[in-house]
Every structure is written in C-alpha cells, then in structure tokens.
Amino acid sequence: MRFAAASTALAFSLIAVPALAGDTIKIGYIDPLSGGGASIGEVGLKTYQYLADEINASGGLLGKKVEIVAFDNKTNPQESLIQAQKAADQGIRIITQGNGSSVAAALSDWVTKYNDRNPGKEIIYLNYAAVDPVLTNDKCSFWHFRWDANSDIKMAALTNFIEDRPNIKKIYLINQDYSFGQSVQKQARAMLKEKRPDIEIAGDELHPLLKITDFSPYIAKIKASGADTVITGNWGQDFALLLKAAADAGLQTDWYTYYAGGAGGPTAVKQTGLAHRVFQVTEGVPNSAPEASQKWEADFRAKEGVALFYPRAVNEMHMLAKAVNQAKSDDPKALAAQFEGMTAEGFDGGEITMRKDDHQLFQDMFISSLGPLDPGAKFDEEGTGWGWRKVGVVQANNTILPTTCKMERP
C-alpha cells in the first residue's frame, strides 16, 4: 500500500514538471550520460549547468530563468531522436548536443523535418562539438549552428604545424570508425600529401566507436609499424584508453590529437611520460587565456572539479544570451536570425563570427602541448601536475574554408 502511494506520488511529480514552461527558458542537453561516452557527457552537462547558473545569477534572460534539461542519448543516433522527441513533447525549443557526429547528423535532419511539420513550434539546434564538416556543407540546415571548428579546420591547423617539424617522418593514423573518424582520416591523408609529401603513412586504422576496452593489440601494431608520430581524432574513453595502452607498452611517439584534454586524457598522457609530445588543437588554452577568462576558469574548476574542456560552450551560451536580449524573444526563428552573422568576443580572446552561409563559427585556434607546468602557469589537468602550453596559434581569418552549403531559409 505504501509502495502504491509512493509510486503514485512519484508519477504525479513526473507529470507536474513540464507544466512550468513559460517562465523558464529550457535548453535540452542531449548527450551521453551512460555507456562509453558518459565521462565527457557528464563534463559537458556540468559546464552547461554552470553557465545557466551564471546567467540566472545575473537575472536570467528577459526575466526568465534558464534551465538545462538533460537527456541521455547513449551516443546512439536512434536513441537521440527519441530523446529529442521527448524534449519537444516537454515544450523545449532549444537543444544542444556535441558528442558524436553520427548523432549530430541524425539530429540536424530530425530538427529540419520537425520544423517543416510544426510551423510555429520550431526547434533550434546548437551544436557545440560535433565536427564532421558535412554538417555545415552538403547537409547544412538553417536550424543548426556550430560553435566548434569543424574537423577540416582543425586538421589544417595540425598539418600546418607538422609542416614545420622535419623530424616527423612516419605517421600512423588511428581513428574511430564512423563519419567523424573517417573524415579525420581522409583529411589527414589529403593535407599531409599536399604539405609534406615526404612523410610516409605507416598505418591507417579505424576501430569501433566507444566499444574497445583494451587497445593493446592496436598499440602493438603501431609499435611494429615504426611510426614516430600518431594522429588521432579519438575522444572520450577511446582516447584515454588508447594512451593508457600506449603507456603500458612504453610506446614512444609524438601524438597529434583533437581531444587529448577530455576526461581521463591528461591522466593517461601523464602515464606515458611523453612530456610536451602530446599536442591538441582547441579554441582555447587555459594557461594563456586572457586574465578574465583565467579567473572564470579558476572559479569553474573550484566549483565543478573539472577543467573547462568546452570554452566553445561558454561562447555558445554567451551568444545565446546576446541573441535573446537583442531579439527580445526566445523564439527559435528570431534566435536563428540573430545568430546569422553574429560577432562576439571569444572566451579566449579575439573576435568570433557565426558565418551566415553555413552557420559555422570561426575563431582563433590554438595548438598546445601537455607537460610539466611552466613557471607562472596556473592550471594543471586532473591533478597530474601537467598542464597545457600554447605552442601555436592560427588567427580566425586564416581558418576560413569555403563551404558547399546551399542554405534553405524558411
């Protein structure tokens, strides 16, 4: 009887939640909170909740509170669509997602169709980390905006850096077997061929996404190939475990990565002992960020206990706040109009621009390496005593690539 009463109460409390819409602006956070992608999905959620708290502490947007509603998509495209529908049913009209370009492609497509069928109830999709170039090229959508530099931009920055390092002679590529990993693989090959035709590709590997718990067989293969450098777009657990296996086998190569800073990454890099030999390309480096941003990051770390892996999430939320205030509305259609061509001050300095043609944000990109903290540097990662050092920068206007997007505006 007591159980029945409790479960009835629970059911009522579940029904009661969506009724509050109207005086809050809800943002649906659709990302992995279980399974192999959970470790970084959790970090993203903390970041967005912190950003929402920050906005609410200064009075909210148009007097409304901002609320982040989390949906667990298990890094699975089908599951994401179910969760997106759930969000829509709750009246959520702004969604944000980042982990997994396969998920992003499905979501972008779904949002476009949903908006066609439900005029007046449009949903806007803010992408903070899915970097498959196709999302702002052939498959671009009016309702999709991307704050992260796409994979081609990142690879261009990495290969420019590699171009000036003659000690690199043999490169091994290892990537996740899905749209994003394949695009890293393709671009790395094409750009290396153009910039450093003398470099030999010692191996080119694709492995299943977020399913492997022991990378030793792959590391044995890299070792046997005699490569001196590895390029990988791996993220989350797939990066941390890859480096953990490399540490176990004592593999001594340089690493050029997209996401070495993700959860568990710096810890694994420290285990390999490869000081300043693991590089990553990002839109921000905590130790060389402007003073105000360093202060912001210090507060963030103190409260949430994790590093700011997504400076782009800060840019996204700040631009969202700007769009809402300028449009004096939180309607997705009005927001989309505001975002097109919007410029702002980036979290790590410099001007950032949302290109109207394809909804890709352009920003300064940095290359940094992980190693023992330099004197005066403030931030180490995951309590390892190692931190990021800026070793290269590409100005935003040098990252601009042409797009094939033919935007269909409603």
Partner 1 sequence: MLQLIAFSTLNGVLYGMLLFMMASGLTLIFSMMGVLNFAHASFYMLGAYFGFEISRRVGFWPGLVLAPLMVGAIGALVERYGLRRLHRRGHVSELLFTFGLAFVVEELVQMVWGKLPVDYRVPPQLDFVAFRLFDTTYPAYRVFMLVIAVGMFAALLALLTRTRVGLIIQAALTHPDMVAMLGHDVPKIFMLVFGAGTALAGLAGVIAGPALVTQPDMASLLGPILFVVIVVGGLGSLTGAFVASLLIGLVQTFAVAMNFSFAEVLGPVAPPFLGDLWKVTIAELAPVVPYILLVLVLIFRPTGLMGRRES
Which of 7/397 has CB closer to partner 1?
7
User: With CB under 8 A as the contact rule, which of the stretches 49-57, 162-170, 204-212, 353-361 interacts with partner 1?
Assistant: 204-212
Instruction: Answer yes or no: are the C-beta atoms of 128 and 47 closer than 8 Å.
Output: no
The single residue among 237, 257, 288, 315 that binds partner 1, judged by CB under 8 A, is 237
DSSP H helices, 175-329, are 179-195, 216-225, 237-249, 265-272, 291-304, 311-327
Which residues, numbered 33-62, are part of the site for partner 1 (CB under 8 A)?
33-36, 38-39, 42
Asked if 383 touches partner 1 (CB under 8 A), the answer is: no
DSSP 53: H
Asked if 11 touches partner 1 (CB under 8 A), the answer is: no
Asked if 216 touches partner 1 (CB under 8 A), the answer is: yes
Alpha-carbon span 82 to 100, nearest angstrom: 16
- The three-state DSSP-derived secondary structure of 280-294 is EEECCCHHHCCHHHH
Instruction: Answer yes or no: are the C-beta atoms of 192 and 149 closer than 8 Å.
Output: no
Which of 191/263 has CB closer to partner 1?
263
Asked if 205 touches partner 1 (CB under 8 A), the answer is: yes
Alpha-carbon span 101 to 137, nearest angstrom: 13
The single residue among 91, 217, 273, 305 that binds partner 1, judged by CB under 8 A, is 217
Asked if 249 touches partner 1 (CB under 8 A), the answer is: yes
Nearest-10 crossing angle of helices 151-163, 179-195: 30
The single residue among 177, 304, 340, 357 that binds partner 1, judged by CB under 8 A, is 177
Number of residues that bind partner 1 (CB under 8 A): 30
DSSP 321: H
Q: How far is the CB of 223 from partner 1 (least distance, A)?
A: 5
Alpha-carbon span 33 to 80, nearest angstrom: 12
Asked if 186 touches partner 1 (CB under 8 A), the answer is: no
Which of 77/332 has CB closer to partner 1?
77
Which of 94/246 has CB closer to partner 1?
246
Instruction: Answer yes or no: are the C-beta atoms of 361 and 352 closer than 8 Å.
Output: yes
The single residue among 54, 200, 248, 331 that binds partner 1, judged by CB under 8 A, is 248
Radius of gyration of the chain (CA): 21
Alpha-carbon span 84 to 93, nearest angstrom: 10
Q: How far is the CB of 262 from partner 1 (least distance, A)?
A: 13
Q: How far is the CB of 247 from partner 1 (least distance, A)?
A: 9
The single residue among 203, 261, 346, 387 that binds partner 1, judged by CB under 8 A, is 203
Alpha-carbon span 116 to 110, nearest angstrom: 10
Q: How far is the CB of 285 from partner 1 (least distance, A)?
A: 26
Asked if 28 touches partner 1 (CB under 8 A), the answer is: no
Q: How far is the CB of 238 from partner 1 (least distance, A)?
A: 11
Which of 207/270 has CB closer to partner 1?
207
Pairing type for strands 343-345 and 278-282 reads unpaired
Instruction: Answer yes or no: are the C-beta atoms of 199 and 171 closer than 8 Å.
Output: yes
Pairing type for strands 365-372 and 386-394 reads antiparallel
Q: Write the CA distances from 283 to 76, 289, 346, 399, integer angstroms.
A: 26, 10, 9, 11
Question: Which residues in this chain contact partner 1 in the complex, by CB under 8 A?
Answer: 33-36, 38-39, 42, 177, 203, 205-208, 211, 213-214, 216-218, 220-221, 223-224, 237, 241, 248-251, 264
